[in-house]
């Protein structure tokens, strides 16, 4: 690990001790960061623009939530189950996604997301419909730490999961597989010429991304002890893309930085007036598209490169 990375990870650790009043928001940021990381693999590395990534987040959340409601409240196995179910759904959906062109991919991911939202909405006896799934009761984490009202356990739990999956994704994206994904993003037509099976790599990336999104969903369900139908909603998918691009796609750390900035700004600005928040978010997006395509991390990289040259 480079010193910058160590410093980066010390920020959430410090926040745990310095800002005990913000642990609930903090664990939400950590969870959504993990969710954004999963999209980074699909969008940032493999180059698939997905407008329905919340589908897998929601599937994970409902899997963990339903397990608990029906009597199995063990957190870690709940997360594992969510990863498996979301990964399976992602695997099936990936075949529909990778065969199309860019626009078709966009529409298929959008359609699958809406489809699952409607399905959860209609299956109200199972999912609770628009009222959400309540009555999620979690057992103690590792049999020792109960989920307390201050959110201390939830924060540490989410932090540990984020760190583990960030490390895994770092290994994955630096492997030959990760390099292939980047090459496919840059030029999918040439990749068969060097012997890389484009479709299979994309299916693999999409499935892994979906499974990790499922983990994030499960974490949200377990730490908030509630699953709202908005976990599957279009807004969540769209906001996720925004967070990722805000931080800088294809960099892993960009996903975390973008999520943190987005959610802190959202918490602050929508506290003043939700309409303001939406307006500034829209304006920010337009400005980013025109002037800062690399996001925050891209900007920092450019500054760092200029500083080194000197």
Partner 1 sequence: MTQAIGVLFDGIAYGSLLFLVSLGLSVTMGLMNFVNLAHGAFAMAGGFVTVVAMTRLGVPFLATLPLAFLATAAAGAVLERALYRRLYGASELDQVLFSIGLTFMSIAGATWFFGASQQPVHLPGFLQGQVTVLGVDLGVYRIFLVAAVAALTLLLGALLSRTRFGAQVRASVDNAQAARGLGIDVDRVFSVTFALGSGLAGLGGALGIEVLGLDSSFPLKFMVYFLLVVVVGGAGTLKGPLVAALLLGVLDVAGKYYVPQVGAFVIYAAMVVLLIAFPAGLFGKRR
Binding region for partner 1 (CB under 8 A): 43, 49, 51, 96, 99-104, 106-108, 110-112, 114-115, 118-119, 121-122, 234, 238, 241-242, 245, 275-276, 278-279, 281-286, 288-290, 293
Least separation in angstroms between residue 299's CB and partner 1 is 16
Least separation in angstroms between residue 266's CB and partner 1 is 12
Of 228, 232, 178, which Cα lies nearest the Cα of 205?
Answer: 178
Ramachandran assignment for 252, one of left (phi > 0), alpha (psi -120 to 50 degrees), beta (any other): left
Of 279, 303, 308, 280, which Cα lies nearest the Cα of 292?
Answer: 303
Ramachandran assignment for 195, one of left (phi > 0), alpha (psi -120 to 50 degrees), beta (any other): left
For partner 1, the closer CB: 117 or 155: 117
Least separation in angstroms between residue 158's CB and partner 1 is 27
For partner 1, the closer CB: 7 or 289: 289
For partner 1, the closer CB: 102 or 148: 102
Q: What's the rounded Cα separation, in Å, for the pair 132 and 129?
A: 6
Least separation in angstroms between residue 184's CB and partner 1 is 15
For partner 1, the closer CB: 16 or 234: 234
Least separation in angstroms between residue 220's CB and partner 1 is 23
For partner 1, the closer CB: 105 or 154: 105
- Give the SS3 label for residue 133: strand
- Give the SS3 label for residue 243: helix
Q: What's the rounded Cα separation, in Å, for the pair 300 and 310?
A: 16
For partner 1, the closer CB: 163 or 238: 238
Least separation in angstroms between residue 16's CB and partner 1 is 33
Which tokens go with 146?
């109960």
For partner 1, the closer CB: 5 or 102: 102
Least separation in angstroms between residue 209's CB and partner 1 is 16
DSSP 129-173: GGG-B-------BTTTB---TT-HHHHHHHHHHHHHHHHHHHHHH
Of 80, 102, 79, 82, which Cα lies nearest the Cα of 90?
Answer: 82
Which tokens go with 232?
């599957």
Least separation in angstroms between residue 130's CB and partner 1 is 12
- Give the SS3 label for residue 145: strand
Cα distances (Å, whole numbers) of residue 247 to 182, 231, 292: 18, 22, 10
Count the neighbouring beta carbons within 10 Å of the beta carbon of residue 137.
10
For partner 1, the closer CB: 109 or 158: 109
């Amino acid at each position: 690990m480079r010193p910058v990375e160590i410093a980066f990870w010390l920020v959430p650790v410090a926040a745990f001790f310095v800002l005990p009043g913000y642990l609930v928001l903090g664990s939400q940021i950590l969870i959504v960061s993990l969710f954004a990381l999963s999209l980074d693999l699909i969008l940032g590395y493999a180059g698939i623009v997905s407008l329905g990534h919340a589908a897998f987040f929601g599937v994970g959340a409902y899997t963990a939530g339903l397990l608990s409601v029906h009597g199995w409240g063990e957190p870690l196995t709940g997360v594992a189950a969510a990863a498996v179910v979301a990964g399976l759904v992602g695997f099936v959906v990936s075949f529909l996604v990778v065969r199309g062109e860019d626009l078709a991919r966009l529409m298929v991911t959008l359609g699958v997301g809406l489809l699952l939202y409607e399905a959860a909405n209609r299956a109200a006896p199972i999912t609770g419909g628009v009222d959400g799934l309540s009555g999620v009761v979690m057992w103690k984490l590792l049999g020792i730490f109960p989920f307390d009202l201050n959110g201390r356990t939830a924060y540490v739990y989410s932090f540990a999961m984020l760190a583990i999956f960030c490390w895994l994704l770092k290994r994955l994206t630096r492997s030959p597989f990760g390099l292939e994904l980047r090459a496919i993003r840059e030029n999918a037509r040439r990749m068969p010429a060097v012997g890389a099976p484009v479709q299979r790599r994309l299916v693999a990336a999409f499935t892994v991304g979906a499974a990790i999104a499922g983990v994030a969903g499960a974490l949200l369900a377990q730490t908030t002890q509630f699953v709202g139908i908005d976990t599957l909603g279009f807004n969540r998918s769209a906001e996720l893309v925004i967070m990722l691009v805000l931080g800088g796609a294809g960099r892993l750390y960009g996903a975390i930085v973008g999520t943190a900035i987005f959610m802190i700004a959202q918490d602050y600005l929508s506290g003043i007036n939700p309409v303001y928040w939406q307006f500034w978010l829209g304006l920010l997006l337009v400005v980013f598209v025109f002037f800062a395509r690399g996001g925050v991390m891209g900007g920092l990289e450019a500054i760092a490169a200029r500083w080194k040259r000197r």
